[in-house]
Amino acid sequence: MLAAVLREPGRIVVENWEIPEPQPGQVQVRVRAGGICGSDLSYYFKGKSGDFAMKEPFVLGHEIAGEVTAIGDDVTEVKVGQRVAVNPGLNCGTCRFCVRGMTNHCLHMRFLGSASVFPHMQGAFREYINVAERQCVAVPGDFDFAMASMAEPLAVTLHTLRHLPSLIGAKVLVVGCGPIGCLLVAGARRAGAQTVTAIDLAEPALAKAREMGADETFSAADTSLAETWMQRRGTFDVVIEASGSPAGLDTALRAALAGGTVLQVGNMPAGQSPVAINFIMSKELRYLGSFRFGAEYATAVEEIVRGKMDLRPLMTHRFPLHDANAAFSMAQDRSQSMKVHLDFD
């Protein structure tokens, strides 16, 4: 099989690997489509994602869907020939976080395409992958693979929204309009927000945010915004920081209304971030974090299959696997792309 191996930052080499046989309890999936995530881009261009640094060559990718081609012993539900979306996280089920239902914080998590462990957890940008049966969520036999792979970013969005108080009648600001930010715009609109405002540096990203339901959009280059939103102790009841930048967090803290909520979902650079943290104290803000997802993955698949949220505006480009380097370059170009997929046909 072919595998897209990140040999060093900025260089993926498509190599021939042997196809492994599924072990007991495992399902072999012929990968058909995979989305490039922000963490994939960070590994590709910087050699690290947040605090997780690349120490050896490895395969990226964790937003995938495909077709079941073989099953191991003890597999009872998944059948050969089914189309499935694949949950990239495999939790142990027994640690103190798993037993509390906080599976995304599993102490023994195996997450596809992650350098959080060493040896690294190989990712899914390869033609075949073996996963546990419980990682597979079936989709209809004619369902688009790339659309099914969008379950992962939607699951991140659903998990993020679970942390928030009721948004009915709330004024919401989303900082950063990448795929997750745009999905959060749509999610906040669906949750009953009175207004949804979005801010980003790239006008094409703001256009997508408007397409996904934003009432207003602003360029982050407008330095007067933070001062305007600071008047009368802030403007927004809820601010979701989805840019993963210190400047974005600084804007979020300044724009939040006194007594409001700031939710961090963007993956910040490693180390300390210089931001106006005193606003958490002086405005009595609730500052929360949201990391990956848990049971929301199956819900995300169901929502996509039922068409509850139209994700097509976010799916902008598709590249064959052998053009992986070009695909990553396009995914980094926010003047042209939103969600870029690799096709494995």
Q: State the average pLDDT over residues 321-341.
A: 96
pLDDT of 328 reads 98
315 vs 165, more confident = 315
pLDDT of 273 reads 77
Please say if the pLDDT value at position 271 is more than 80: no
Q: Which whole-number Å values give the CA distances from 231 to 193, 207, 221, 226, 227, in the listed order?
A: 21, 27, 19, 9, 7
pLDDT of 266 reads 95
Find, among 300, 342, 315, the residue nearest to 137 by Cα: 300
Distance between CA atoms of 23 and 203, rounded to whole angstroms? 48
pLDDT of 229 reads 84
pLDDT of 275 reads 83
Tens digits of residue pLDDT in 299-315: 999 999 999 988 999 99
Please say if the pLDDT value at position 272 is more than 90: no
Q: State the average pLDDT over residues 88-116.
A: 96
Find, among 32, 5, 9, 45, the residue nearest to 333 by Cα: 45
Tens digits of residue pLDDT in 123-161: 999 999 999 999 999 999 999 999 999 999 999 999 999
Q: Which whole-number Å values give the CA distances from 168 to 146, 194, 215, in the listed order?
A: 32, 7, 15
pLDDT of 50 reads 84
pLDDT of 299 reads 97
Pairing status of strand 48-49 against strand 52-53: antiparallel
**Which domains does the chain carry?**
2-155+293-343 (3.90.180.10), 164-289 (3.40.50.720)
- Would you state the structure tokens that stand for residue 307, as one six-digit string? 């068409």
Please say if the pLDDT value at position 232 is more than 80: no
Please say if the pLDDT value at position 27 is more than 80: yes
Please say if the pLDDT value at position 169 is more than 80: yes
Distance between CA atoms of 209 and 5, rounded to whole angstroms? 33
Q: State the average pLDDT over residues 166-189.
A: 97
318 vs 275, more confident = 318
The percent of residues in the chain predicted with pLDDT above 70, rounded, is 100
Cβ–Cβ contacts within 10 Å for residue 198, how many?
A: 29
Find, among 229, 287, 217, the residue nearest to 259 by Cα: 287
Reported confidence tier of residue 204, pLDDT bands at 50, 70, 90: very high
Tens digits of residue pLDDT in 33-80: 999 999 999 999 999 998 899 999 999 999 999 999 999 999 999 999
Please say if the pLDDT value at position 117 is more than 80: yes
What is the overall mean pLDDT for the chain?
A: 95
